[in-house]
């Protein structure tokens, strides 16, 4: 038996390591490039007007995206109000009652399907449900679309987080004569509080940057959101419309909106991560 | 203290004559005027799915006495007492058959209200499990749940429960700290305080000192001694010295059956069954 | 000392038991809500695309025609399906090796502090909304492609695959942007899979004198292959339905061309571009049918991925 030359082995190792380090740096560099461009091009759009004024027609100085900022916040908030509780309780069902129910298998399966469904399909669905029927686009249709995206995300993290709560805690509450619903809401929830908050925050972060589900539901508008019963301005669709427009001042606005939405999403994500780390 | 005046040999029944019968009866012949039966178990069978874990358990537990349940691990000790408050129903595929009478009421009957039952039958678990709340809230939680109660009285009762569980001196200055900050032994006594605060009649203890240090264990054993004045206590333990130290009666479980039941000193000094003797002298288990 | 009799019991236990039933019913309702949504999506898509299904039948799936002019409408999904599959394939071809290599770098090579920072940055990048990648693609990357990469590829490799004028936008650019978008996602999952290997296994092999590459190739890789494939399936599922990252740069042209330089369209970008413009019912219905096709594709991928992961879970005794 002839031993393999150490030199060959080591040089193969060196080459592979070099290639992988190099590709890592290329990959990471490109990702840094994306962030750099967003910040570099977006920061110029930030001024007082950007945050406080309504949009102006192309060429007119001094407009802002105040309505779209507010619209995104309001639509996301409404989506959270709808999506988080439903997702939370669906997760409670899977974690707390799922073991004894035939329903949990199908629910988990369908939840995964929904998580993998493209967000534009959700937009099309809500269009058919809530836009066609009332014959106009609306902010609340947008909120419902975002909520549908949140539900499976929240349900999944809720189930995972509740499963981390030791059964002994449930047993000792039930053994004390605490009813099941109070055991879950008072004791199990309290024990899993940070995890649940993290999951919800991540879901909010995820949908607040979504564009596709809003294209055919909330649409966009240059006016204040009002009661969300008509097309509602929002940052992401504004980015889409302005970026596709031929006007440089609108494109500039789109960069500003991109930076703002990126900062918002990253902020929420960082909050969620810190919450989770604090737990350990 | 309500120790029986006489500790006569007729309080235990030798099983020698019964071994040939298929069903091993393990009730103790006792003088009913002296010994009130609190829990009476008849032909209890238990199943995990298709696997049978308990076989025809029959036993009487006396009021205001400590009954120890001993036996090798996996013999069904915990399974047995987990039927008394039906906590096993949390899980799928676990099923109990037979009769458990608590003051004559059938625990296993569908009419039995679980919340009432668990108010009457408290339980301490192997692993200390304080609720994720303050020390005060841990004890007050169950009280508030079961009783309409004023703020002052609530504070009094929490204090009383903590005193009775011998924890008060250690925690009176930090009642608003989270219960999870306490040491393992303190957490376990907090759980005891939490359980006795709601005034149960029976206290089930499932290896309460197996996860904590010897000093804390000694405290909990003293506590058991003191608590039996008010409660009927069932103590599952794998520690035979502990059973000998704190219990009045002992039941020896093996492979899901109750092999022998009798007064503790009799079980430990002259067991009737060969299996019991082997276990107690450390020949197996 | 208070006597027990001085305090009254609260709400009757029977009420609480009823509350428990209600609570359980309510959570079950929320869970059923998930099923209703997915069934609802399917039914709505099917119902709304019914006119198109009736009119075009199976030819919808194989026809390349896309003519929305009223009166002579003709719709076929082939160009959109082609664009979807082509961009996804390009994205997977680029993102798969890169993300695996970065994951290996993070787990095996990078110093711990660096691995922590880079790993965290990658997870953050996975959270960046897709429209940001679209913006960057349109204004930064497409010109870069046009000036540098496309001329280079056209000259050096050429052939039918890299033919045509460098326009910047097109199938290739869209595929690359898509790759960038799913790269952080697959990397994060793959890294977690690599981290699951017990250190003992690696140490034992290093202890035998194996090089890092040999350990990775012969020990880590076989251990992880199932988890990695699962991660790739998840990435694929994301890529196939991604809208905003590619709508900006694909060119939105209903044609099929062998060259990856040419403009094309994908199902998602067709929907994004044309849905609100569709005035004729049959046009809208055709778009719904496109949506149905995309939904069907993702459901199939999901089912395959889940079956795969379930097998994996069985083979590793439930740890993955």
pLDDT by residue for chain C (320 residues), tens digit each? 444 444 555 556 778 888 889 999 999 999 999 999 999 999 999 999 999 999 988 888 888 888 888 878 889 899 999 999 999 999 999 999 989 888 888 887 788 888 888 888 888 888 899 999 999 999 999 999 988 888 888 888 877 788 888 888 899 999 999 999 999 989 988 888 888 777 777 777 777 777 777 777 777 777 778 788 878 888 888 899 899 989 999 988 888 888 888 888 999 999 999 988 888 889 999 999 999 999 999 999 888 888 887 777 666 544 43
Examine the pLDDT at A221 and tell me if it is beyond 60.
yes
Number of domains into which chain B is organized: 1
Closest CA to B232 of B116, B83, B63, B101: B63
Residue C311 in tokens = 């097998």
Chain B: residue whose CA lies nearest to A100: B92
**What is the DSSP secondary structure assignment for residue B263, as one 8-state letter?**
E
pLDDT, residue A14, reads 83
Q: Which of B113, B132, B204, B210 to substitute to test the interface with A, most A CBs within 10 Å?
A: B132
Per-residue tokens: A190: 């309290």
Q: pLDDT averaged over chain A?
A: 90
Answer yes or no: do B125 and A171 touch at CB < 8 A. yes
d(CA C20, CA A184): 10
B133 contacts on A by Cβ (under 8 Å): 190
Q: Tell me, what's the pLDDT at C40? A: 96
| Residue A74 CB partners (closer than 8 Å, separation 6+) | A139, A225, A228, A232
What is residue B162's predicted lDDT score, i.e. its pLDDT? 93
Q: Please state, as a whole number, how many other Cβ atoms lie within 10 Å of the Cβ of residue B283.
A: 10
The stretch B59-67 carries a mean pLDDT of: 93
Of C2, C9, C16, the CB nearest to B156: C2
Burial of C192 (0-12, 13-18, 19+ CB in 10 A): middle
Q: How many Å apart are CA C82 and CA A186, to the nearest integer?
A: 53
CB contact under 8 A, A177 and B195: no
pLDDT value at residue C320: 36
Buried b / exposed e along B137-173 (16+ C-beta atoms within 10 A)? bbbbbbbebbbebeeeebeebbbbbbebbbbbebbee
Nearest CA in chain C to B147: C9
Q: How many CA atoms lie within 13 A of C39 on its CB side?
A: 7
Q: Residue A100: which of B92, B131, B146 has the nearest Cβ?
A: B92
In a domain, B268, yes or no: yes
Burial label for A194, CB within 10 Å (0-12, 13-18, 19+), is: middle
Higher pLDDT residue, C1 or A43?
A: A43
Mean of the pLDDT values across residues A145-173? 94
Angle between helices A139-164 and A66-92 (to 10 degrees): 40
Q: Which residue of A has its CA nearest to B88?
A: A171
Cα separation of C151 and A131, whole Å? 46
What pLDDT, in 10s, does the model give residues B157-202?
Answer: 999 999 988 899 999 999 999 999 999 889 999 999 999 998 899 9
φ/ψ of residue C236, rounded to 5 = -60, -45
What does residue C188 show for φ and ψ, rounded to 5 degrees? -60, -45
Q: Between chains, do A168 and B85 touch, taking CB under 8 Å as contact?
A: no
Half-sphere exposure of A23 (CA within 13 A, CB side): 21
Q: Is residue B98 part of a domain?
A: yes
Q: Which of B90, B132, B195 sits opposite A176 (nearest CB)?
A: B195
Is A176 in the B-facing interface, judged by CB distances under 8 Å?
A: yes
CB contact under 8 A, B160 and C1: yes
Q: Is B115 on the interface with C (CB under 8 A)?
A: yes
pLDDT of res. B25: 44
Chain C residues lying within 8 Å of B113, measured CB to CB: 13-14, 17
Candidates A10, A114, A170, B267; CA nearest to C31 is A114
- The chains found to touch C (3+ Cβ pairs under 8 angstroms) are A, B
Answer whether A37 sits within 8 Å of C136, measured CB to CB. yes
Is position B190 within any domain?
no
CB A118 within 8 A of CB C45: no
Contact C180, C98 (CB under 8 A): no
In chain B, whose CA is at the least distance from the CA of A99?
B92
Nearest CA of chain A to the CA of B103: how many Å? 18
- pLDDT above 50 (res A16): yes
Backbone CA torsion sign across A19, A25, A28, A29: negative
Count of residues in chain C: 320
Q: How far is C9 from chain B (nearest CA, A)?
A: 4
A55-59, B222-226, C24-28, C196-200: least confident range: C196-200
Measure the CA–CA gap between C215 and C206, rounded to whole angstroms: 7
Buried/exposed code over A19-34 (b: 16+ C-beta within 10 A; e: otherwise): ebbebbeebbebbeeb
Residues of chain B with Cβ-Cβ distance to A179 below 8 Å are: 115
Q: Locate B119 and state its tokens.
A: 């108010």
Q: Which residues of C touch A117 (CB under 8 A)?
A: 38, 41, 241, 295, 298-299
Burial of B62-81, coded b for 16+ CB within 10 Å and e otherwise, reads: bbbbbbbbbbeeebbbbbbb
CATH number (domain holding residue B264): 3.40.50.300
* Alpha-carbon span B100 to B60, nearest angstrom: 10
pLDDT of A19 over the 90 cut: no
Rounded Cα–Cα distance for residues A17 and B148 (Å):
70
In this structure, is residue B218 part of a structural domain? yes
Give the model's pLDDT for residue B214: 85
Q: A70 φ, ψ to 5°?
A: -60, -45
Residue-level pLDDT at C150: 85
Rounded to an integer, the average pLDDT of B1-8 is 39
Which of these, A229, A137, A257, lies nearest to C275 by C-alpha position?
Answer: A137
Percentage of the residues of chain B whose pLDDT score is greater than 90: 51
* Residues A86, C30: C-beta atoms closer than 8 Å: yes
- Contact (CB<8Å) C13/B145: no
Give me the mean pLDDT over the A219-238 stretch: 88
Residue B180: inside a domain, yes or no?
no
Residue C292 CA from chain centroid, whole number: 17
B246 found inside a domain: yes
The whole-number average pLDDT for the span A247-257 is: 91
pLDDT digits (tens, 9 = 90+) for A67-81: 999 999 999 999 999
Between the two ends of chain C, the Cα-to-Cα distance in Å is 56
Please tell me the predicted confidence (pLDDT) of residue B59. 93
Percent of chain A predicted with pLDDT > 90? 60
Task: Give a yes or no: residue B193 inside a domain.
Answer: no
Q: What is the mean pLDDT of residues A103-125?
A: 92
> C256 φ, ψ to 5°?
-115, 130
| Residue numbers in A near C23 (CB within 8 A) | 180-181, 184
Q: How far is CA B233 from the centre of its chain?
A: 5
Sign of the CA dihedral running C274, C275, C276, C281: positive
Closest listed residue to residue B88, CA positions, set B262, B232, B212, B204: B204
Return the residue matching tokens 């460098």.
Answer: C166
Give CA–CA dist A213/A209, Å, rounded. 10
Which residue, chain included where needed, has tokens 């000193």? B265
Secondary structure string (H, E, C) spanning chain A: CCCCCHHHHHHHHHHHHHHHHHHHHHHHHHHHHHHHHHHHHHHHHCCHHHHHCCCCCCCCCCCCCHHHHHHHHHHHHHHHHHHHHHHHHHHHHHHHHHHHCCCHHHHHHHHHHHHHCCHHHHHHHHHHHHHCCCCCCCHHHHHHHHHHHHHHHHHHHHHHHHHHCCHHHHHHHHHCCCCHHHHHHHHHHHHCHHHHHHHHHHHHHHHHCCCHHHHCCCCCCCCCCCCCCCCCCCHHHHHHHHHHCCCHHHHHHHHHHHHHHHHHHHHHHHHHHHHHHHHC
Asked whether the beta carbons of residue B147 and residue C10 sit closer than 8 angstroms, the reply is yes
Q: Has residue B66 got a pLDDT over 90?
A: yes
* Helix residue ranges per DSSP H, C105-170: 112-127, 130-136, 142-144, 150-156
Q: Which of B113, B160, B200 to mutate to test the interface with C (most CBs of C within 10 A)?
A: B113
Q: Distance, in angstroms, between C18 CA and closest chain B CA? A: 11
Q: What element of type H or E holds B117?
A: helix B114-120
* Residue B16 pLDDT: 35
Contact of A265 with A201, CB cutoff 8 Å: no
- Please choose, from the candidates A133, A134, A121, A137, the residue with its C-alpha nearest in 3D space to the C-alpha of residue A216: A137
pLDDT category at B263 given cuts 50, 70, 90 is: very high
Which pLDDT value is given to residue B33?
A: 44
Instruction: Tell whether B146 is within 8 A of chain C (Cβ).
Output: yes
Across the interface, whether the CB atoms of B123 and A171 are under 8 A apart is answered yes
- Structural tokens at position B3: 């120790």
pLDDT, mean of residues B35-40: 87
State which residues form the domain around B54. Answer: 9-126+204-280
B197 assigned to some structural domain: no
Is C150 at the interface with chain A, CB within 8 A? no
Residue A232 has pLDDT above 70, yes or no: yes
Cβ contacts (< 8 Å) between B191 and chain A: which residues? 172
Measured between beta carbons, the chain B residues lying within 8 angstroms of A178 are 115, 141-142, 145
pTM above 0.95, yes or no: no
Domains and CATH numbers, chain A: 63-279 (1.10.3720.10)
Angstrom CA distances, A54 to A70, A75, A241, A245, B43, stand at 11, 18, 16, 18, 79
pLDDT at B21: 38
Least confident of A135-144, B88-97, C264-273: B88-97
Shortest Cα distance from B114 to chain C (angstroms)? Answer: 8
Q: What is the pLDDT of residue A273?
A: 85
Calpha distance B177→C310 (Å, rounded) = 44
Q: Which domains does chain C have, with CATH numbers?
A: 67-135+170-315 (1.10.3720.10)
Asked if B145 reaches chain C (Cβ–Cβ under 8 Å), the answer is yes
| Cβ neighbours around A209 below 10 Å, total | 25
Give C3 to chain B, closest Cα distance, Å: 10
**Cβ contact, residue pair B147, C7, below 8 Å:** yes
Copy the structure tokens of residue C121. Answer: 């940055």
Chain A adjacent subunits, 3+ CB pairs under 8 A: B, C
Mutate to test the interface with C, among A121, A138, A186, A265 (most CBs of C within 10 A): A121
Structure confidence at residue C315 (pLDDT)? 64
Interface contacts (A, B; CB < 8 Å): 74
Chains that touch B (3 or more CB pairs under 8 A): A, C
């Amino acid at each position: 038996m002839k031993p393999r030359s150490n030199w060959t082995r080591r040089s193969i190792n060196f080459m592979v390591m070099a290639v992988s380090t190099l590709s890592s740096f290329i990959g990471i560099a490109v990702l840094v490039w994306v962030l750099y461009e967003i910040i570099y091009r977006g920061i110029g759009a930030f001024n007082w007007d950007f945050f406080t004024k309504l949009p102006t027609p192309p060429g007119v100085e001094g407009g802002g995206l105040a309505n779209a900022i507010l619209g995104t916040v309001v639509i996301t908030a409404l989506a959270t109000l709808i999506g988080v509780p439903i997702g939370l309780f669906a997760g409670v069902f899977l974690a707390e009652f799922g073991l004894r129910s035939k329903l949990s298998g199908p629910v988990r399966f369908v939840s995964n399907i929904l998580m993998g469904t493209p967000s534009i399909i959700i937009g099309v669905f809500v269009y058919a449900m809530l836009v066609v029927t009332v014959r106009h686009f609306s902010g609340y249709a947008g909120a419902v679309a975002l909520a549908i995206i949140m539900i499976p995300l929240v349900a999944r993290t809720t189930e995972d987080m509740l499963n981390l709560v030791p059964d002994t805690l449930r047993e000792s509450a039930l053994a004390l004569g605490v009813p099941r619903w109070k055991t879950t809401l008072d004791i199990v929830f309290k024990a899993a509080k940070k995890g649940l908050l993290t999951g919800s925050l991540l879901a909010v972060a995820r949908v607040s940057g979504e564009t596709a589900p809003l294209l055919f539901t909330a649409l966009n508008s240059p006016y204040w959101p009002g009661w969300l019963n008509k097309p509602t301005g929002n940052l992401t669709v504004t980015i889409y419309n302005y970026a596709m427009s031929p006007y440089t001042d609108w494109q500039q606005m789109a960069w500003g909106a991109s930076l703002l939405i990126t900062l918002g999403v990253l902020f929420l994500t960082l909050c969620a991560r810190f919450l989770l780390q604090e737990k350990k | 203290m309500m120790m029986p005046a006489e500790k006569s040999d007729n309080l235990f029944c030798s099983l020698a004559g019964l071994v040939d019968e298929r069903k091993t009866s393990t009730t103790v012949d006792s003088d009913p005027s002296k010994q009130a039966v609190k829990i009476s178990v008849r032909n209890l069978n238990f199943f995990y799915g298709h696997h049978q874990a308990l076989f025809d358990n029959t036993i009487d537990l006396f009021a205001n006495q400590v009954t120890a349940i001993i036996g090798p691990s996996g013999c069904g000790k915990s399974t047995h007492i987990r039927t008394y408050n039906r906590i096993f129903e949390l899980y799928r595929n676990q099923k109990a058959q037979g009769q458990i009478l608590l003051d004559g009421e059938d625990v296993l009957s569908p009419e039995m209200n679980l919340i009432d039952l668990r108010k009457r039958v408290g339980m301490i678990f192997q692993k200390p499990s304080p609720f994720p709340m303050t020390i005060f809230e841990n004890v007050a939680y169950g009280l508030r749940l079961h009783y309409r109660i004023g703020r002052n009285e609530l504070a009094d009762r929490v204090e009383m429960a903590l005193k009775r569980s011998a924890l008060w001196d250690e925690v009176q200055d930090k009642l608003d700290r989270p219960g999870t900050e306490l040491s393992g032994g303190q957490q376990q006594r907090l759980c005891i305080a939490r359980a006795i605060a709601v005034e149960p009649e029976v206290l089930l203890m499932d290896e309460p000192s197996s996860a904590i240090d010897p000093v804390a264990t000694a405290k909990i054993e003293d506590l058991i001694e003191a608590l039996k004045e008010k409660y009927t206590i069932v103590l599952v333990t794998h520690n035979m010295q502990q059973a000998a130290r704190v219990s009045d009666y002992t039941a020896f479980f093996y492979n899901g059956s109750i092999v022998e039941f009798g007064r503790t000193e009799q079980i430990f000094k002259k067991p009737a069954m060969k299996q019991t003797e082997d276990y107690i002298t450390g020949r197996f288990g | 000392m208070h006597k027990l009799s001085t305090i009254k019991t609260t709400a009757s236990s029977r009420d609480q038991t009823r509350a428990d039933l209600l609570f359980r019913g309510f959570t079950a309702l929320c869970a059923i809500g998930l099923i209703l949504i997915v069934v609802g999506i399917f039914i709505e898509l099917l119902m709304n695309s019914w006119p198109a299904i009736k009119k075009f039948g199976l030819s919808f799936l194989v026809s390349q025609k896309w003519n929305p002019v009223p009166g002579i409408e003709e719709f076929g999904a082939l160009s959109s399906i082609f664009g979807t599959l082509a961009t996804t394939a390009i994205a997977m071809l680029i993102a798969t090796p890169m993300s695996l290599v970065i994951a290996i770098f993070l787990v095996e090579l990078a110093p711990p502090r660096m691995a922590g920072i880079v790993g965290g940055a990658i997870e953050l990048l996975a959270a960046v909304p897709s429209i940001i990648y679209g913006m960057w693609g349109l204004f930064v990357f497409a010109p870069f492609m046009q000036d540098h990469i496309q001329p280079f590829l056209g000259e050096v490799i050429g052939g039918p695959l890299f033919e045509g004028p460098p326009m910047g936008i097109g199938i290739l650019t869209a595929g690359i942007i898509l790759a960038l978008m799913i790269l952080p996602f697959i990397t994060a999952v793959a890294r977690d899979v690599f981290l699951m290997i017990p250190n003992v296994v690696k140490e034992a092999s290093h202890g035998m004198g194996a090089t890092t590459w040999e350990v990775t190739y012969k020990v880590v890789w076989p251990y992880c292959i199932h988890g990695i494939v699962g991660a790739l399936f998840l990435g694929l599922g994301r890529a196939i339905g991604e809208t905003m990252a590619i709508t900006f740069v694909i060119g939105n042209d209903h044609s099929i061309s062998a060259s990856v330089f040419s403009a094309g369209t994908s199902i998602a970008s067709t929907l994004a571009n044309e849905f609100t413009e569709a005035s004729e019912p049959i046009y809208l219905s055709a778009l719904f049918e496109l949506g149905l096709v995309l939904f069907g594709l993702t459901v199939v991928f999901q089912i395959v991925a889940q079956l795969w992961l379930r097998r994996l879970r069985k083979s590793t005794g439930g740890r993955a």
